[in-house]
Every structure is written in structure tokens, then in C-alpha cells.
């Protein structure tokens, strides 16, 4: 399951960040690394970008990038 599949209002725990080079670096520079919990705050009306809470910060992430982040839903 990827971050892109998580519904609004749910939490997810990062298992792995896929991708290469600059894309992977950009995701990791946002603080999205293995073991971090992410809360999906909202998704823009047309589906892009996603607004997230990560480590106490609010971030926007494109769905193409969210598709590179493998997660498991936290109950």
C-alpha cells in the first residue's frame, strides 16, 4: 500500500521510500523516512496535492511522490 491510497483523516506509518536521486532526496528532506507516522489532513479537490502532518509540520506532497512511499495504516 502507498501513501496515495490512504484516506483523509487516517494515519500511516512509513515502511520504505522508493525512488531514486533527487526525488528520493526531496521526500527524505521533508522528514518522511522509515518509521515516521504521517497524518493525511486533506486532499485538494482535483486530487493533487495531498496535505500531510509529518513530525509536527504541515506539508504538501504531490500524489506522484506519495505513490513512491510504502506505508501501513495505523489503527
pLDDT on residue 50 = 92
Binning pLDDT at 50, 70 and 90, where does residue 17 land? very high
Count of beta carbons in the 10 Å neighbourhood of residue 55: 12
Q: What is the pLDDT of residues 19-52, one digit of tens each?
A: 889 989 999 999 999 999 999 999 888 768 899 9
pLDDT on residue 51 = 93
Q: What is the DSSP annotation of 23-56?
A: HHHHHHHTT--TT-EEEEEEE-TTS--EEEEETT
Kindly list the structural domains of the chain, giving each domain's residue range(s) and its CATH number in brackets, ordered by start.
Answer: 3-74 (2.30.30.90)
Count of beta carbons in the 10 Å neighbourhood of residue 26: 14
pTM equals 0.86
What would the grid cell of residue 7 be? Answer: 484516506
pLDDT on residue 44 = 86
Which residues 6+ apart lie within 8 Å of 39 measured at CB? 10, 11, 52, 53, 54
Amino acid at each position: 500500500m502507498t501513501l496515495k491510497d490512504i484516506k483523509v483523516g487516517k494515519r500511516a506509518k512509513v515502511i520504505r521510500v522508493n525512488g531514486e536521486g533527487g526525488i528520493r532526496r526531496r521526500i527524505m528532506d521533508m522528514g518522511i523516512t522509515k518509521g515516521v507516522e504521517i497524518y493525511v489532513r486533506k486532499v485538494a479537490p482535483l486530487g493533487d496535492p495531498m496535505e500531510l502532518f509529518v513530525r509536527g509540520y504541515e506539508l504538501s506532497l504531490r500524489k506522484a511522490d506519495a505513490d513512491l512511499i510504502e506505508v501501513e495504516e495505523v489503527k
